[in-house]
Homo-oligomer: A and B are copies of this chain.
Amino acid sequence: MAKFKLEKKTLIYDGRIVRLVVSDGTIRGRKARWEVVHHVGSVGIIPFITKEKIVLVEQFRYAVGERLLEIPAGTLHKGEPPLAAAKREIREEIGYAAGRLEKLDIFYPSPGVTDEFVVIYKATGLKPSKLAADFDEDIKVRVIKLSDALKYVREGRIKDAKTIIAILLIARKK
């Protein structure tokens, strides 16, 4: 990329979650354009309520037009460290406080298009907590066995990247 010469950067949209910036320039004399979706970053948490049972959430995802089974997750608030966001999200989405959060991985969901990163934690020592006031009624909480989750990944019933990665990484450690 040493030969990329930036000529113009245009802010197209600056919204609630995404900020779209288009960069125009040249590479080795040829015109080039990058469309980058800037994103503040996300966290996902795989919560164990027993050694074998995890908590997933099922919700309608407007962007893809279907209900998906996922680990609890969410976007970072401005300036919020990922660990704090993880604690907030498990309280908000499934009504638990985590005794222990262990970082499992950090990855880029789609590095060709967006700088979004996702930090995944394993949560243990869960204690029921009050559901947050802005609890989303559309989120259904599902307790399932890790072995079943793994089967859902293999069968393609779990389609969300962070959930697939969390389950496969945990399965490797067992």
Residues of A within 8 A of B (CB): 1, 4, 12-13, 15-18, 20, 22-23, 33-37, 39, 42, 60-65, 68, 70, 73, 75, 105-117, 138, 154, 156, 159-162, 164-165, 168-169, 171-172
- Are A105 and B156 CB-contacts (below 8 A) given A16-B35, A63-B36, A111-B64? yes
Q: Is the CB of A172 within 8 A of B168?
A: yes
Q: Is the CB of A64 within 8 A of B115?
A: yes
* Distance of A166 from chain B, by nearest CB (Å): 11
* Distance of A39 from chain B, by nearest CB (Å): 7
Compute how far the CA of A160 lies from the CA of B39 in the bound complex, rounded to whole angstroms.
16
* Distance of A171 from chain B, by nearest CB (Å): 7
Q: Is the CB of B1 within 8 A of A17?
A: no
Q: Is the CB of A61 within 8 A of B111?
A: yes
Compute how far the CA of A156 lies from the CA of B162 in the bound complex, rounded to whole angstroms.
14
Compute how far the CA of A162 lies from the CA of B111 in the bound complex, rounded to whole angstroms.
10
- Are A110 and B106 CB-contacts (below 8 A) given A16-B35, A161-B165, A168-B169? no
Q: Is the CB of B15 within 8 A of A18?
A: no
Which residue of B154, B156, B161 is within 8 Å of A161 (Cβ)? B161
